[in-house]
Amino acid sequence: MKDRSLGSQILFLITFLMLTIFAIMIIYPILWMLISGFKTNKELFLNTWALPEKFIWGNYKQAWDIGIGRYFLNSILVTTVSITLTIIFSSCCAFALSRFEFKGQKIFLLLIIGGLMLSPQVSLISLYKLLQKLKIYNTYWALIIPYTAFQIPFTTFLIRSYMVTLPREIEDSAYIDGCTSWKVFWYIILPMSKPILAAASLLSAISVWNEFMFALVFIEDSKLRTIPVGLMNLRSTLSTDWTILLAGLTISALPMIILFIIFQKQFIRGITSGGVKG
């Protein structure tokens, strides 16, 4: 028993040490970027790893005023609408595929999963022409619609894997009491699926927030550009003012970090439940 206890303690210490090193590797670059945004260019190059002699809050204000603020709000709008539409369509589709049996169900599921194999780069030219014909090129919808379409296959597959594991007894009782399928979906299935919905939303939000290619090609007006393309323009505008660029990078990274911190428990629950049970 003592040998087992000693072995488990050693294993725990090794695991804890490895996870601590991994956490430092992730957190330290973020902290360095945050702190470097308060420096001057001279301090950044001469004292790269040191703390700033004086915290220059104006770097963040200047980065916001010079364009990051507009790009940030554009990204918030595009990401929010895209994820809302993605979760609505994906959860409805996942409910139908996990709870109803109909002709062609497996083929329909395979078609959705097949969407995971379609690379966004392959569809770039066709999407460009399609958006122009629909007269939504150089608008927010030129990003929202492709983002939603490319996120639906993954989120549908993820949510369906979770819904399959939910017990049917509660919804069967609801059907007996006279509930319709829509009420069962809205009042029973969705509340029970909050962890996987949070996980799917967070994963999709990170993908949409950081997407660069569509945002560069489908948007021409600088007032409509999202933050990845805006940061590139910020670099070309300021050229050597790296501290303001780092301040802009910090501002762009904060929303996803905050979202993960807020929803980390539901994210982990959703991923582990779907992975283990499904």
pTM: 0.86
Closest C-alpha among 148, 92, 94 to residue 120: 148
Residue 118 belongs to a domain: yes
The set of residues, in sequence order, having a beta carbon less than 8 Å from that of 190 and lying 6+ positions away, is: 91, 197
Residue 25 belongs to a domain: no
Torsion of CA 160, 161, 165, 167, to 10 degrees: -10
Residue 3 belongs to a domain: no
Given this model, what pLDDT does residue 276 score?
Answer: 44
Given this model, what pLDDT does residue 146 score?
Answer: 95
Residue 19 belongs to a domain: no
Count how many domains the chain has. 1
User: In this structure, are residues 248 and 241 in contact, taking their beta carbons and an 8 Å threshold?
Assistant: no
Residue 255 belongs to a domain: yes
Residue 60 belongs to a domain: yes
Given this model, what pLDDT does residue 103 score?
Answer: 84
Given this model, what pLDDT does residue 240 score?
Answer: 58
Kindly give the confidence (pLDDT) of every residue in the chain, 278 residues in length, as a single tens digit, with 9 standing for 90 and above. 445 577 788 888 999 999 999 989 988 988 999 999 998 888 888 888 888 888 888 889 988 988 888 999 999 999 999 999 999 999 999 999 988 888 888 888 888 888 888 888 888 999 999 999 999 999 999 999 999 999 999 999 999 989 988 888 888 888 888 888 888 898 889 988 988 999 899 999 999 999 999 999 999 988 899 999 988 877 655 455 788 888 888 999 988 888 888 888 777 776 666 544 44
CATH code where residue 135 lies = 1.10.3720.10
Residue 31 belongs to a domain: no
Residue 28 belongs to a domain: no
Produce one character per residue of 169-190: b if its CB has 16 or more CB atoms within 10 Å, e if not.
eebeebeeeebeeeebbeebbb
Given this model, what pLDDT does residue 239 score?
Answer: 59
Closest C-alpha among 210, 111, 126 to residue 156: 111
What does DSSP assign to residue 101?
Answer: -
Which domain, by its residues, includes 138? 37-277
User: In this structure, are residues 215 and 79 in contact, taking their beta carbons and an 8 Å threshold?
Assistant: no
Closest C-alpha among 160, 175, 20 to residue 91: 160
